[in-house]
Structure 1
């Protein structure tokens, strides 16, 4: 079955209302970090000498103004130095760790916590493979307590930040008062196959490097690991809902390109329409049994997957441009920073200081699988 044959599925029976648990996980801090150098789309085109009009059009009509990237150095011939796969893996390790550390430190600072308060670190990445994973490398680098539990989510793509938040929220509920952090660190420039073809133009015009971290603690009796009034303004995490589209499993993939002799990311042009067609299904499932309608949601934090993806979600969910202002703002200023994109939007929402007690919010990500992930939160 091809991606073009994907059809709308029937909404499953409503999820039964959940019994209200005595303990809820709560978001108590967020932090982001990017490499120091940023580039306009025109500058990226100039660096790589892209002259094909169609490829240039993809870059210049992307609704992206700048992206933070770690581009290869320029050689004596004025062209970027080639990066074999081994060098790209080294780049991923170096910059995913560096940006990840800065995002983690900013997150803990906003939560009013320190490294000694951290009890679980979950690291997310899809732009390179490491063993040991990012969590072990960052724990060693920062001298975090060796008894800090950890997990690594690798290869799930842009939706993985919410997959990780689901897991750490569950860990937090099982360990009330203990601090857990999800850290998404993506060196997307280490996953590029830099040529001038249309196949790679979509990917090369879209992704940026960056890291984002979110701190979670479950309501419970004060403990020695809960510093002060930890993140008092953070929303409670109420529930999650997922939707995988098996017939579109090959539509987003990161696999070996035998022609280029390296890993390469592929995006099917039909992805925005497939995601849009399933956005309503997963959101309705998320809200089923809660008594809430889409109109009751005050804050929408959607993954900055690209202009067409955002447009498709807006149309299918009946959202306004104001609803996705942070999604489009992050895309404009950073491009698609993969698994951490929705946390860049969440940080902007907090900086606006417009949330009020009782407000509901929906977090939404999408990525390979093809998959949509959602979460319902309340301030």
Structure 2
């Protein structure tokens, strides 16, 4: 009986023969920074004077070990001093400029780029409001050239890092040879409230402070590298974005005025993990539509560290393993939810592993108020 030789089945993606591949924006580097003070969940329970067993369990069962926070000093009564809304805004500006500048300079240093040569700076934050925005203050602080174009995305929440990456990728593609940076600066402790409610406890058990900067750029036609950079380009290309807004859940995640506390405060609906999980497949399938790719072709998953239940919901609904989301879980464990910059904390861990190999596909996913899910497709 003769052997039957099967013809290998090959699949072509729309990116295999893309004549514009060099012009697609690429991730060039990532820089991170956090405040110097780190607290365990047990230390936070003590600092907040929490005695209610139910609230204590929220902190201790959060899958978070430590978070970097800028906490107020101890007041006369022994607990943390209550900060007014004005105090919180001052803290937002002071801390955001400090560790925002650190993340930005670390990002630029990796590619040997002088801040004076930066082409565009986009600052993302949801933990305070300033006019002029953080971008203007950082251009002054860091020594960026006065002709650097800038943008500020304020108040979009945890998904906003990918919203900004999509917009600034378009800028980079329209300005080949120049470098742009998206800088997510979240001083969540400048948005904290202190009371005995479950609403406040959920927020105070979850968020941490931190900044993450990502540099992106596109090559000019025929160029070997990008503009004024000294370092070679090794990061993945950004191929495509897809979004999903869930209007019926518009109030599930919000940051609004609490009249009882006389300040802004976060609200997180307990149903958030189920909303996110139910729509994760929808937005991923939309991202991969017309690409020739299946979910199984995605080797690297970089998902927002929204919380233990959110991570589990994404894992179950997309059929992922704990290994697939190891960096997402690791960032949650070590930093908590760093809001808009969380996915970049995960990306840095992947980059440090040197796991992305030529031809690999990766997927970024963030989620936040709206309710919104944002995704981006990468290729190394």
Tell whether the structures are fold-level matches, with TM greater than 0.5. Answer: yes
Q: Secondary structure at the match of 2:27?
A: strand
Task: Tell me how far apart the structure 2 counterparts of residues 362 and 224 of structure 1 sit (CA, whole Å).
Answer: 24
Task: Tell me how far apart the structure 1 counterparts of residues 251 and 226 of structure 2 sit (CA, whole Å).
Answer: 47
Report the Cα offset of residue 17 of structure 1: 6.4
Task: Tell me how far apart the structure 2 counterparts of residues 34 and 128 of structure 1 sit (CA, whole Å).
Answer: 17
Could you tell me which of 222, 228, 233 is aligned with 2:230?
228
Q: Secondary structure at the match of 1:171?
A: helix
Could you tell me which residue of structure 2 aligns to residue 336 of structure 1? Answer: 337
Task: Tell me how far apart the structure 2 counterparts of residues 82 and 202 of structure 1 sit (CA, whole Å).
Answer: 18
For structure 2, the 5+ residue unaligned runs are 1-12
Could you tell me which residue of structure 1 aligns to residue 87 of structure 2? Answer: 87
Could you tell me which residue of structure 1 aligns to residue 96 of structure 2? Answer: 96
Deviations 1:319-342 (A, max 9, x none): 000000000000000000000000
For structure 1, the 5+ residue unaligned runs are 1-15
Q: Secondary structure at the match of 1:67?
A: strand
Q: TM-score, normalised by structure 1?
A: 0.94
- The 5-angstrom pairing of residues 338-377 of structure 1 reads 338-377=339-378
Q: Secondary structure at the match of 2:334?
A: helix
Report the Cα offset of residue 110 of structure 1: 1.6
Task: Tell me how far apart the structure 2 counterparts of residues 86 and 20 of structure 1 sit (CA, whole Å).
Answer: 52
- The 5-angstrom pairing of residues 8-87 of structure 1 reads 20=18, 22=20, 23-87=23-87
Deviations 1:173-222 (A, max 9, x none): 00001000000000000001111211111100000000000000012244
Could you tell me which residue of structure 2 aligns to residue 13 of structure 1? Answer: none
Task: Tell me how far apart the structure 1 counterparts of residues 133 and 99 of structure 2 sit (CA, whole Å).
Answer: 15
- The alignment of Structure 1 onto Structure 2 pairs a total of residues equal to 363
Moved more, 110-119 or 274-283: 110-119
Report the Cα offset of residue 114 of structure 1: 1.9
8 A Cα contact 2:218 2:226, kept in partner: no
Could you tell me which residue of structure 2 aligns to residue 156 of structure 1? Answer: 156
Q: CA distance change for structure 1 residues 194 and 359 in 2, over 3 Å: closer, same or farther?
A: same
Report the Cα offset of residue 116 of structure 1: 2.1
Q: Secondary structure at the match of 2:147?
A: coil
Which of these two proteins has the greater Rg computed from alpha carbons? 2
Report the Cα offset of residue 76 of structure 1: 2.9
Q: CA distance change for structure 1 residues 21 and 249 in 2, over 3 Å: closer, same or farther?
A: farther
Q: Secondary structure at the match of 1:158?
A: coil
Could you tell me which residue of structure 2 aligns to residue 315 of structure 1? Answer: 316
Q: TM-score, normalised by structure 2?
A: 0.93
Task: Tell me how far apart the structure 1 counterparts of residues 358 and 33 of structure 2 sit (CA, whole Å).
Answer: 28
Q: Secondary structure at the match of 1:290?
A: coil
Could you tell me which residue of structure 1 aligns to residue 247 of structure 2? Answer: 246
8 A Cα contact 1:97 1:134, kept in partner: yes
Deviations 1:234-257 (A, max 9, x none): 000000000000000000000000
Report the Cα offset of residue 162 of structure 1: 0.2
Task: Tell me how far apart the structure 1 counterparts of residues 108 and 219 of structure 2 sit (CA, whole Å).
Answer: 18
Could you tell me which residue of structure 2 aligns to residue 293 of structure 1? Answer: 294
